[in-house]
Amino acid sequence: MKIAVCLKQVPARDWQPRLNDARTWIREEDAAFEMNEPDQYALEEGLRLKEAQGGEVVVCSAGPPRAAQVLREGLARGADRAIHVEADGLAGADGFVVAGALAAAMRDERFDLVLTGLQSEDQGLAQTGVILAERLGFPHATIVMDVRIDKASLRVKRELEGGWFQWVGMGLPAVLTVQSGINQLRYATLKGIMAAKKKEIRKAAVPLEPARVRIAHLYVPEKSKKTHMIGGSPADAARELVRRLRDDARVL
């Protein structure tokens, strides 16, 4: 089985965001980066399926040169090779642009299964995997909690709202967006890190499509507080307090 796992490099969670002068994205030169956490669960699921079914796992990323870091990490954890769609214009790109770039680089590989994390931790749009499936012409399932493969078909368990789940049968090839927590993550060993240095990272040059989403303005949430004095008799004050809690604060 030939499995592709899409990895994204995102700002580290413990890094305090700082915005660029135009307030349209972060100051990347000041940022620390790491592998997107939901993609780590997708990678782990891909490695487990390879161990059970045989074949290879290919990690793929669309991003600037620095994104090679997450590909090396994926190779160190057990992936066989990597594909890097390298372009500075992919830093902060929307899901449509990223999915188009990945699809162009992956189409000739003829993957049996493509895995992505449910969403990215920087933009959180949860669209890249869905658009990628459309561009590749593959069926897809989202918010996947379990994957079971039987020859040329698979059954996946999807998480729904209110604690409900849904089992879906589908054919291969397919695209799945994986929910965080689906499995226990493995980490790179020293042996894996050394082996990753010898594994192939193929750089793919593809034309980038125009962005469909434009970030107009970003800002850090501001903390503020106000004090309202409620006068009148105790009964009137109580009624006014209840009204404010219900209509203004919306806590009742």
Tens of pLDDT, residue by residue over 18-54, are 888 888 888 888 888 999 999 999 999 999 999 999 9
d(CA 49, CA 249): 49
Domain count for the chain, please give it: 2
Q: Does the residue 217 lie in any domain?
A: no
Does 191 share its domain with 226?
no
Q: What tokens were used for 157?
A: 């368990």
Does 65 share its domain with 178?
yes
Q: In this model, does residue 215 exceed pLDDT 90?
A: no
pLDDT of residue 213: 85
Does 137 share its domain with 240?
no
H/E run at residue 167: strand 165-171
Does 104 share its domain with 183?
yes
Q: Does the residue 216 lie in any domain?
A: no
Spatial neighbors of 89 by CB under 8 A, at least 6 apart, are 97, 208
Does 228 share its domain with 110?
no
d(CA 75, CA 59): 8
d(CA 42, CA 175): 11
Does 194 share its domain with 249?
no
pLDDT digits over 163-205, tens only? 899 999 999 999 999 999 999 999 899 999 999 999 999 999 8
The residue count of the chain comes to 252
Q: Does the residue 210 lie in any domain?
A: no
Residue numbers of the domain that contains 245: 222-252
Does 43 share its domain with 138?
yes
Pairing of strands 201-204, 81-86: parallel
pLDDT of residue 68: 95
Q: In this model, does residue 251 exceed pLDDT 90?
A: no
Does 141 share its domain with 53?
yes
For residue 12, give the CATH number of its domain: 3.40.50.620
Q: What is the mean pLDDT of residues 50-77?
A: 95
Does 227 share its domain with 166?
no
Does 33 share its domain with 128?
yes
